[in-house]
Structure 1
Amino acid sequence: MIVKNVPGAVAAHTRGILPPMGDHSGHGHGHGHSHDPAAFAGVRTSSLPRNAVLGLLVLVAVATVIGLVTLWPDGKRPHAEYAATGVSYPVATVVSAHDPCPVIDPNADPSGTPEMPKGCDGLTVKLADGTRVDVQAEPGAVRSGLRKGDRVTLAKVPGAEGGAVYSYFGTQRKAPVGLLLAAFVLVVVAVARKRGALALVGLGVAATVVGGWMVPSLLEGHSPVGVALTASAAIMFAVLYAAHGISMRTSTALAGTLVGLGITALLGQLASGWARLSGLGAEASDPLRTFAGDLDFRGLLVAAIIVAGLGVLNDVTITQSSAVWELRAASETMSRRELYTSAMRIGRDHIASAIYTIVFVYAGTALTTLLFVALYDRTLLDLLLTEQFAEECVMTLSSSIGLVLAMPATTVIAALTVSAPRSHGRRRAAW
């Protein structure tokens, strides 16, 4: 790919002007042409664009710190009781799982509906003190394959005269989820090594910002868009520099990411208004309206749009910045226009794959909903334009547009930031 797009580098190697890939000897500029990211450190940058990018990032960093302090949650958010007074949630061990109840056809003749077998969808469990109780479980619990020895959580409601009523609350999944998490961490560190470990640190910082700052701040009624932009900027500063190191290459990717975030926020704000969305399409909106009715639900939708595109946006911008740095490392004779054109060829392939990723991830998570939609005698378009599905469409399309536009923006910033082209020791025109 690089050899094809950098004819100047090939010609220079043929004439013996440039050393072999990775050879630093005999050249004052002292940078190699290895494809290892460490070689990027030798790529020169132009002072004016570099200072402009760093100045922009400093301003955004200061604004982010001000936003974090100004919008800091003070603990006065609304609360809802999770359970009635006296209700507890003991863990029990499954002794046996009963047969699942048959599925009743809603269109069948009611007179011919079979009687439900006694105890179907039930569990016999043993409490910590050895007491055995029978509880009715939800249909999915028994059909999931619960068997003897599995652990479940019960809801214990105090009864009269010291007795208690038990009901199924949920299945304990700490072991399988914990093992998957451990496997994920081991694989990331084994394959990506130091970079992978630093990426995990960045992911931990992101989780802390979202759970420890963004969510409480939103519940306290602060501006959803302001909170989302502040949290997203803080996350991107942490994640990009932790995973990819502190360098101008990472800084240009961060600048492109911030441009994409701004575009996404603007589009989300406009699109939610054009589509007359209320932000109340999600299932969790009803309890939120009950316990925190003063929230700006349309603003929360825009905040969700901003956060939804962070992962793929980060992926695209760092790839584009690295592409430009790699091209300049391979050839000092390419003009900035050639750098931009070559990097955009890479970026177009990446964008095509990223769009597929976004669509298929959503299709996978919404597969059950799509099957439910297919049961009705209405067109798919009619159902997609209802409040619930329209919110998802606007979210996906707005974040995707921001993603696509961030790619050329990052490429331009990177192409301007790297050094001007050279030819036999003389500078060529930049464009």
Structure 2
Amino acid sequence: MASRNVGRRRADHRADRRRGLAIPTGHGHGHGHGHGDHVVDTSVVNADAIVARRVRIVVAAVLIPLITAAVVAMIVLWPGGGVKVASYQTETARGEVTAIKACSDPKAQCDEATVKLSTGPEKGRSVPVAIPKTGQVPIPVEVGESVMLGVQADAPTIADKYQYVDHDRTRPLLLLAGLFAVAVVALSRWRGFAALVALAVTAAMLTQFILPAILKGSNPLLVAVVGGTVIMTVALYVTHGINAEASIALSGTIAALGLTVVLGWFFTELTQLSGLASEGASAAKQFAPDLDLTGLLVAGMVIGALGVLDDVTVTQAAAVWELSAANPSASRRELIGAGLRIGRTHVASVVNTLVLAYAGAAMPTLIVFAVQGLPGQYVVSTETVAMEVVRGLVGSLGIIAAVPLTTALAAMAVAHRSRELVATEPEHVGS
């Protein structure tokens, strides 16, 4: 009877493998217990000796040299000293509007607000501030609101000393950030907290290395690649731990990042994009005349695609790990096939999201073209729109490439792991 059961189980197992299904082994080792619903423990895949040996080869041959090169390049490119241009610096202040009335000069299209300063050397003093009504459509300023001000220290009168800049949105932004942090930690607990730490590292890298290094005259594309590699290394290992799964996801991310860089540079040159149509490009060029706007455009593509690449590669690695945890003897072909089926669905939604995000950022420009009634081919060929098309499609190509790259790497790492479990299965069944 036992031998017939063994034969039946092995025949069913072979049939399921031919169909590419992930089957729980049903005999412990954290892969699931009992029949029906079970919890798949993917930590056993990271702890598997075969997987560890394979991933160590990838880490030693690929990750360590790339990460080391990125860190060395970051040290070499690190901007020494400040990057601020003295002639463009201005003092700032904040305050609360306590009163507002129309300006005394009827020809002056403005309101005069009385602002009680909450920062600066004259903190606590109430000063007059003109709120212009011309130019761009202004956001109304009302009593009780907080505003940001520019300070002209050498102004002849107090009325000329303070200029309205914008609403002070510090409090609502802090409230939103706090709500986001609480939601992340509440859902993901310690892993969510680790993700917030990784987010802080990303912000620090952007503000302390990437932007200052570009302003110092370093090649924007090189800075973006180096900074992006360091950001992804820290983010993945801090959030997911230093393990085999995170290492495979990082390898897939770096590979897809390299492809995104090549495609971005190639199609930026092919479409003859200057980068001048980017928002703020003219002002940036004015502040830093030697700034490479074309390189900055490609660097923006790389940075913009990083977050989505991270999402895709982590998801693909986790999917293959889950499949291997459920069926330790799954072959490389079975794991790649199942992983790609998962990846296709993910890519279909993520690519649409990325393209819509870029289209949403260009909505004001698209509205202008729509009002003018210009032909579609004409509109797409303008640099303003062509830039967003290249940005969106290059980022999408990087995401598409990340799926098979990461899936193949993950499958090579975990395929046919722990074969001894299948080889000793009759002993467990017969007992």
Q: Which amino acid aligns with 1:414?
A: A
Partner of 2:26: 18
1:376 is displaced (CA, Å) by: 1.1
Aligned to 1:28: none
Is 1:64 the counterpart of 2:70? The answer is yes
Sort the Cα spacing of 1:253 and 1:151 in 2 relative to 1 into closer, same or farther, 3 A: same
Q: Does 1:7 pair with 2:20?
A: no
User: Contact 2:359–2:388 (CA<8 Å) still a contact in 1?
Assistant: no
What is the aligned partner in structure 2 of residue 41 from structure 1? 46
Aligned mates of 1:130, 1:11 — CA distance in 2: 71
Measured at CA, do residues 80 and 286 of structure 1 come closer, stay the same or move farther in structure 2, by a change above 3 Å? farther
Whole-angstrom CA distance in 1 between matches of 2:108 and 2:382: 40
Contact kept, 8 Å, 1:383 with 1:389, in 2: the verdict is yes
In structure 2, the residue matched to 1:239 is 235
Separation in 2, partners of 1:148, 1:38: 58
Q: Distance in 2 between matches of 1:23 and 1:134?
A: 68
Once the two structures are TM-superposed, the CA of residue 328 in structure 1 deviates from its matched residue by 0.5
Partner of 2:428: none
Using the size of structure 2 for normalisation, the TM-score is 0.82
Which position in structure 2 is the counterpart of 1:124? 113
SS in 2 for 1:126: strand
Change (3 A) 1:21 1:167: same
How far residue 414 of structure 1 moved from its aligned partner, in angstroms, is 0.4
CA contact (8 A) 1:78 1:292 kept: no
Cα separation, 2, equivalents of 1:418 and 1:23: 14
Does structure 1 retain, via aligned residues, the 8 Å contact 2:127–2:159?
A: no
Alignment of 1:319-330 (within 5 A): 319-330=315-326
Deviations 1:203-262 (A, max 9, x none): 111111111011111111112222111101100100001111111011000000010011
Other-structure match for 1:389? 385
The amino acid across from 1:93 in the alignment is E
- CA distance 1:131–1:96, change in 2 (3 Å): closer
The equivalent position to 2:79 in structure 1, one of 57, 73, 77, is 73
Equivalent residue in structure 2 for 1:135, among 112, 123, 130: 130
Matched-pair contact (CA < 8 Å) for 1:202–1:242: yes
* AA partner of residue 318 (structure 1): V
Matches within 5 A, 1:409-428: 409-420=405-416, 422=419, 425-426=422-423
| CA shift in 2, pair 1:299/1:161, >3 Å | closer
Q: What is the Cα deviation at residue 78 of structure 1?
A: 6.6
Deviates more, 1:303-312 or 1:364-373: 364-373
The correspondence for 2:271, drawn from 266, 270, 275, is 275
What TM-score comes out, normalization by structure 1 length?
A: 0.82
- The partner residue of 1:221 within 195, 217, 220 is 217
Shift of 1:279: 2.0
- In 1, Cα distance between the equivalents of 2:157 and 2:96? 26
CA contact (8 A) 1:95 1:123 kept: no
Over 3 Å counting, the alpha-carbon distance change for 1:45 and 1:142 in structure 2 is same
Instruction: Give the Cα separation in 1 of the matches to 2:355 and 2:209.
Output: 29
Question: For the Cα contact (< 8 Å) 1:195–1:243, is it kept in 2?
Answer: yes
Alignment of 1:174-185 (within 5 A): 174-185=170-181
Specify the alignment match of 1:256 in structure 2. Answer: 252
- Would you say the 8 A contact 1:156–1:167 is kept in 2? yes
Q: Match for residue 111 of structure 1?
A: none
Aligned partners of 1:355, 1:122: CA distance in 2, in Å? Answer: 47
1:126–1:12 distance in 2 versus 1, CA, 3 Å: closer
Counterpart-to-counterpart distance in 1, 2:21 and 2:218: 56
Query: Residue 198 of structure 2 aligns with which residue?
Result: 202
Unaligned runs of 5+ in 2: 1-14, 118-123, 425-431
Inter-partner Cα distance in structure 1 for 2:229 and 2:64: 12
Alpha-carbon distance between aligned partners in 2 of 1:365 and 1:277, rounded to the nearest angstrom: 18
Q: In the alignment, is the contact (CA less than 8 A) between 2:55 and 2:244 conserved in 1?
A: yes
Number of aligned residue pairs: 396
1:328–1:418 Cα contact (<8 Å) kept: yes
Contact 1:323 1:343 in 2 (8 A): yes
Q: Deviations over 1:309-368 (max 9, x none)?
A: 000000000100011110010012321101100010000000011011102222333333
CA contact (8 A) 1:374 1:380 kept: no
After superposition, the CA RMSD in angstroms is: 3.3
Secondary structure at 2:98 match in 1: strand
1:355·1:400 contact (CA, 8 Å) conserved in 2? yes
Work out whether residues 46 and 52 of structure 2, in 8 Å CA contact, stay in contact via their aligned partners in 1: no
Distance 1:10 1:308 in 2: 36
Structure 1 position 36, deviation (Å) = 4.9
Structure 1 residue 371, shift from structure 2 partner: 1.9
Q: In proportion to residue count, which structure has more helix?
A: 2
| Residue in structure 2 matched with residue 309 of structure 1 by the alignment | 305
**1:154-213 deviation per Cα after TM superposition (whole angstroms, max 9, x unaligned):** 334444377645432111111100111111111111111000000111111111111101
Question: Per-residue deviation at 1:74?
Answer: 2.0
Question: 1:108 is matched with which residue?
Answer: none
Show structure 1 runs of 5+ residues with no match: 1-5, 26-32, 100-115
8 Å contact from structure 2 (residues 329, 422) kept in 1: no
Q: Within the alignment, does 1:93 sit opposite 2:96 as a pair?
A: yes
